[in-house]
Homo-oligomer: A and B are copies of this chain.
Amino acid sequence: MTKMIDTAGFIASTASPPQGGSGSGLAELFALSGAAMPFARNAEIYGEDEPADYAYRVVRGAVRICKLLSDGRRQIEAFHLPGDIFGIELGGSHRFTAEAVSDCVVLLVRRSALTGFATRDAEAARELWALATRALERAQEHVLLLGRKTAQERVASFLLDLQGACGGRAGTVEIPMSRQDIADYLGLTIETVSRTMTAFETGGLIGLRGARQVELRDRPALRALRA
């Protein structure tokens, strides 16, 4: 018996925070004092080693957090969807690059506002800790994915996570990112991702309506594959 909803995915969907009472203080902070900023597809939101003076919250679209290795290799560390907060750093500068996967809108608040808030309000401080810990949990799942899983297992995991994150009704998932993005997230090549998707379709596990729309036809089989 597994949980009804995978909590392990790359998206927390903090849009509507779970805890009751006063609601999410951080989300409120963004809502009240956040400056909305639009980014075009593939635009850089912040770059590696740039000063980390702001925290960000996705309003619309999707964002990728990634790093470029010396040669061309790129690793996407995480995707962020509406409601997700990202860009908060321990040190003074960003350790990764953030880019718009699609046209998107994010809210910005000054880092100082955030830390100040957390210093004054114990609940906000806990929320900040919870945020970091959630991010850690996602990164840990990512490690599990990359460490010892086959291409099929990775793609199956990815599709199920995506379904959990932006799954519409009826098991249809809109994929907001390119095959290259998926490959760089899963530690595979686009060719392998493509081949695996095709194999899943051939096997009746999924249905492909173009490259960006997938129907999860056999969720149990996908779950079994995710190892």
Instruction: Please state the number of chain copies in the assembly.
Output: 2
| Closest beta carbon of chain B to A79's beta carbon, Å | 13
Residues of B contacting A147 in the complex (Cβ-Cβ under 8 angstroms): 75, 146, 184, 187
| Closest beta carbon of chain B to A204's beta carbon, Å | 23
Q: Choose, from A32-40, A121-129, A174-182, the stretch at the interface.
A: A121-129
Q: Is A142 an interface residue (CB 8 A)?
A: yes
Interface of A is mostly: helix
Residues of B contacting A143 in the complex (Cβ-Cβ under 8 angstroms): 75, 77, 139, 142-143, 146
Q: Is A43 an interface residue (CB 8 A)?
A: no
| Closest beta carbon of chain B to A73's beta carbon, Å | 5
Number of interface residues of A (CB under 8 A): 40
* Residue in B closest to A142 when the chains form the complex, CB atoms: B143
Q: Is A95 an interface residue (CB 8 A)?
A: yes
A74 CA to B147 CA, complexed, in Å: 9
Q: Choose, from A64-72, A105-113, A193-201, the stretch at the interface.
A: A64-72
Residues of B contacting A136 in the complex (Cβ-Cβ under 8 angstroms): 132, 135-136, 139
Q: Is A227 an interface residue (CB 8 A)?
A: yes
Q: List 15 A-B contacts (CB under 8 A).
A: A69-B148, A73-B227, A75-B143, A77-B140, A118-B125, A119-B122, A122-B125, A125-B126, A125-B129, A128-B129, A135-B136, A136-B139, A139-B143, A143-B146, A148-B187
The residues of A with any CB-CB pair to B shorter than 8 Å are: 67, 69-71, 73-75, 77, 88-90, 95-96, 115, 118-120, 122, 125-126, 128-130, 132-137, 139-140, 142-144, 146-148, 184, 187, 227
